[in-house]
Structure formats: C-alpha cells, structure tokens
Chains A and B, each alone.
Chain A
C-alpha cells in the first residue's frame, strides 16, 4: 500500500511541477495584463475597484472604530498627564479668542455692508456630507483614504474634502457607500491655490511627502515663509478661500507648504458639494434627480 502510494508520487511529480510552473507563468501574465488594462481602460478598472471596495467596506467600518479607539487611548493618556498645563493654556487662548471674535464680528458686518454697496455676486453656499475615515492605505506610493459616504449620499468625483483644520484633498472615486479621497500630499494631487497676501496664483503639487510644494510660481511672485495658502476656486471644482496651509520654506526654485490638516488626526472629513453659481445648473439638477431614483 505504502509502496504503491510512493510510486504514484514519483510519477506525479514531473506533471505537478509542470502544472505549477505553467500556473505561475499564467498568473504573472495576468498581473501584467491587469497593469496594462488599468492604463488602457482606467474606467473599467475604476468600476471594479469601486465595486470591490463597496463590498468590503462594512469590514473596514467595523474594525476602523476599535483601531481609532486604540490610538485615541494613547492621546487620552497623554492628555491626563498634562491636564493642568492645558487648562491654563486654554484659559489664555479663550481670552485671546474673545478679542478675535469681537474683531471678526465687526469685520463681518463691515464686509456685508461693502458687498451690498458693490453688488457682489454671492458665492453659493456649499452643501456638505460628513463621513468617517474607514481605511488609510498609508503606503509610500499613494496617499489616499477611504470614507463611508458615497454616491448614495451625494458624493461625486472631484468634490473638495475638508476637515476642521483645512483642505484634505478631493474625491477620486465614488462608490455607492464609499469614496476614495486623494490627499493633497499625493503625487497625483494638483490644487489651484492663491497666496492669501500677495494674491499670486499657483498650483499646489503633492509629492508623496508630508510637505507639498508650489509649482508654476511666477518668477516675480512674492512668497515668504509664513504666508497663508488658500484655494483659488479656479476651475470651479473647489470653493474659493478654503484654508490649505502655510509656506514653510522657500529656496530658489521651490516653496514647500505645511498643510493645516494634522494627518494623524484625520478621523472625520467633510465633502463639499459646490456648484459654481450659474454654471450648468440644469445638468447638475438632472444628474441629482437621476441619482435619487
């Protein structure tokens, strides 16, 4: 019995080795085909990707909360240690902020008055959806996060994504219940911005590092460390004047930017549904009506 089995094994091995090698070659070819396909037919691949991610999203949603709890546990411990110090700091900040509030209110009224005097076309107030970050790929190749809101919540490709600190990025792909957000630090991220003080317009370009830089800055642009960067609203995808970051360093051919968003604390984001007033209102409305069906 044993001898027979052994003989079978001897006979079977060359066949099995061949089958294995053949299978290996086929799979390697399949992988290469997928890469070529994703270049040639990005839409097809996007549909597949969005479908798969939508399917597994409940798993992420289930586990992302404990993961967030674990990491916030560390924060909390840190907070308890320095509670007295923090309290004093906050009281001081509060006093400071009250002064700012009074100033801001006065400026707001004044601004309203000027707008009325000049008959400025008002910016359309953006509608928004707030969603939780359920996955963070965090690889060295791409900077993206997955959130638990999708087309069924009105999220569309290209919309701006912010949190309480400032601009986070834009919607890259939207599934039914999930959306993939391209962070502004990603290699493929390009955001039209403006230097708040000098009004120089430029593009904020990600490079997979935590510090994106300003591309296409005019040679006579006045830029210095500490300058605030906000979205310019050019191209119509993003509302203007969203906080982006501050210029952290300038050398002869490059200005790097420190984004306001603290990436380690990116747990909730807000997706803005912004429509430039008067531009294609009919198509937008039709699209939305279609999505409601």
Chain B
C-alpha cells in the first residue's frame, strides 16, 4: 500500500513539467482578446522546453517534446511538424550545453535563452516560408522573439517552484 502510494506520488510529480507545458500550449490557443495577443502570442513552448531541459531533463523526454510540438501544430494550424522539429532542435542544443548551464546564475540562463530565441525565429521563418511557398513577413516573428525573450523571467518564476515539486521525493 505504502509502495503504491509512493509510486503514484512520484509519477504525479514527475508528470508536472510535461503537463504544465501542455497546459501552456492550450492556454496560448485560447481567445484572450488582449490587444498584444492578437498579433503575437509568445512562444510558451520554447520557454518551457528550454527550462525543463536544463533543470528537469529526466522529466522531459524527447518524445514528450515531439508530442507537444505536434499538438501545437495541430491546434494552431502551423505546418505540421514545424514546431515539433524546432522544439527538438532547441532541446538537443540545450541538452548538449546542460553542464554549462547547471548552477549558473539566472542572468546567464537568460542570456542563453536570448541566443536560442532568434535562432528559433529564423528557423521557423525559413520552414514556414518554404511550406507556404511565400515569404512570411518577418516583422511579427521578430516581435514574437523579443516578447518571448522579455517574458522569459516571468515564466521562470512560475517554473521554479513547479520544478522543485517535480523533483521532491518522500524520504
């Protein structure tokens, strides 16, 4: 009985990072009607994948990233597979630099994110332009990249306690 409870507790805690990210993907698709949102929604999923790959990689498998990317593509109508590929690339790059990021002050993490985000914007722009067969106007993408970079600290404040919860184990 105790074992079973412990197992459930661990499974539920372990599912927090992926669940939160899926909820963010849904939240981003809701009709919020905030003037800033009409034009661009910040790239929530990129923030989440970046954060969890550094701090809770064992709770964020590649398959989850793929699934989240496909879900976002299906919901928002972007070319199917685009977000999945972009998120996987982010995860791959960040995973290779994990030892560098671990234990560094937040400013370093933010700086790292600010390097990743423009690359994400550029890659998405190339892929979407290729899929639509027309150059996608770059300005809204630039706005999205900047907005996402600016909002990153706010989301880290949200992710941090959840990350602690995801790691805690009853001893």
The answer to whether the Cβ of A145 comes within 8 Å of any Cβ in the partner chain is yes
Assess the A208–B31 pair: CB atoms within 8 A.
no
Q: Which residues of A contact B140 (CB under 8 A)?
A: 140, 208-209
CA distance A50 to B48 in the complex (A): 26
Asked if residues A35 and B31 are in contact (CB atoms below 8 Å), the reply is: no
A263 to B136, CA, bound (A): 20
> Are A35 and B141 in contact, with the CB atoms below 8 A?
no
Decide yes or no whether A170 CB sits under 8 A from chain B. no
Cβ contacts under 8 Å, A20 to chain B: 62
Judge whether B29 and A265 touch: CB under 8 Å: no
**Residues of A with C-beta under 8 A to B153:** none
Q: Do A30 and B66 touch across chains, with their CB atoms under 8 A apart?
A: yes
Beyond A27-B88, A31-B85, whether A139 also contacts B40 by CB under 8 A is yes
Contact B80 A135 (CB under 8 A): no
Given A27-B63, A135-B75, A144-B77, does the pair A266, B132 have CB atoms closer than 8 Å?
no
Tell me, in angstroms, the Cα distance from A238 to B28 when the chains sit together. 31
Would you call A293 an interface residue if the criterion is a C-beta within 8 Å of the partner chain's C-beta atoms? no
Segment among B2-10, B106-114, B123-131 that sits at the interface with chain A:
B123-131
- Chain B residues, Cβ within 8 Å of A267: 31, 33
**Is A138 a contact partner of B37 (Cβ separation < 8 A)?**
yes
Answer yes or no: A34 CB below 8 A from chain B CBs: yes
Query: Is A37 interfacial (CB 8 A cutoff)?
Result: yes
Number of residue pairs A-B, CB distance < 8 angstroms: 156
Separation of A19 and B77 alpha carbons in the complex (Å): 32
Q: Output the least CB separation between B94 and chain A (Å).
A: 12
Query: Which B residues form the contact surface with A (CB < 8 A)?
Result: 26-35, 37-41, 62-63, 65-66, 69-70, 73-82, 84-85, 88-89, 92, 124, 127-128, 131-132, 134, 136-137, 139-141, 143-144
A-B contact pairs, 28 of them (CB 8 A): A23-B63, A27-B88, A30-B66, A30-B81, A32-B81, A34-B84, A37-B80, A37-B81, A38-B81, A49-B74, A49-B77, A52-B75, A56-B75, A64-B31, A72-B33, A136-B30, A136-B38, A137-B29, A137-B75, A140-B136, A140-B140, A146-B29, A187-B132, A208-B137, A209-B137, A263-B38, A266-B31, A267-B33
